[in-house]
Amino acid sequence: MAPRLSFAVIEQCALPANPITAILVALLLSVLFALSGCIRESDITLEQRAHQLAGELMCPICDGQTIDGSNAQIAIDMRLKVRDLLDEGSTNAEVKDYFVLRYGQDILAAPERSGFSLLAWIVPVFIVLGGVVIALLSIKSMRRSGLEAQSAGGTSTVVKQKQNDLSDYLAHVDRDLSVGSAIKSDESNKSGDAPSSEKAKS
C-alpha cells in the first residue's frame, strides 16, 4: 500500500515537475544534511552536562520532579554526586547506570531505549506515521467517493449547480478584491477554474 500511496500523492498533486521547487527541496535537504554533522557536544562544560543529566534523573521523594528542579536535600546530594562522577570522567550513560543500580529504573526521567521500555519510544513513531497515512488515505477516499457520486448524478450535482449559481458572485468578489495581478490566477482558480475542471473529470 505504501508505495502505491506515495505514487498517488505525486500523481494527483496538481504540481507538475517544477525545476525551482525541486532545486529548493534539494537545497533544503543538503543544508539539513550538512547541519546534522556539526553537533559539538564536546564544547559543553562539565557543569552544563551535569545540569542536563540532572534534568534526566527524577527526585526519589518528590512527586514528578527531576533533581534539577527540586530543592529537597536528596536532590541536592544527587546533583553533587552527578558532578563528582563527571569530574571523575564518567560518561553520561555511566552516571545514569550508577543511579539506576541504586534506585531502580524509575529514577530515569525518560524510559530506557531497550527491552520492554523500547515500546514507549516506538509506539509514538507508529502513532505519528499512522496518523499521517490515515489522513492521506482519507483524503484519497474522499476524492474518490466524490468523483463517483458526481458521475452517478446524486446530491453533488445539486451542489455543483449551487456552485455555478455562486460563481457570478464569486467572480464579482474576485474583481472587488483582486489585490494586484499577482494573485489573480489564484483566485480565478478558486472560483472559476475548479468547477470546470470538475466537469472535465466527470
Q: Which residues inside 69-88 make contact with other proteins, applying CB under 8 A?
A: 69-71, 86-87
56-87 b/e (C-beta count within 10 Å ≥ 16 → b): bbbbbeeeeebbbebeeeebeebbebbbebbe
Which cell goes with 38?
556539526
Give the one residue of 26, 74, 118, 142 binding other proteins; rule: CB under 8 A.
142
Q: If binding is defined by CB under 8 A, does position 159 make contact with other proteins?
A: yes
Structural contact between residues 66 and 56, judged by C-beta atoms closer than 8 angstroms: yes
Among 22, 31, 74, 118, binds other proteins (CB under 8 A): 31
Q: Does 89 bind other proteins (CB under 8 A)?
A: no
User: What distance in Å separates the CA atoms of residue 126 and residue 119, rounded to the nearest whole number?
Assistant: 11
- Does 43 contact other proteins by CB under 8 A? yes
Q: Please, what is the minimum distance in Å from the beta carbon of residue 155 to other proteins?
A: 7
Q: What count of other Cβ atoms lies within 10 Å of the Cβ of residue 8? A: 15
Q: Which of 26, 29, 46, 61 binds other proteins (CB under 8 A)?
A: 46
Spatial contact of 109 and 55, defined as CB atoms under 8 Å apart: yes
Q: Which is nearer to other proteins, 74 or 127 (CB)?
A: 127
Contact between 92 and other proteins (CB under 8 A)?
Answer: no
Total residues contacting other proteins (rule CB under 8 A)? 96
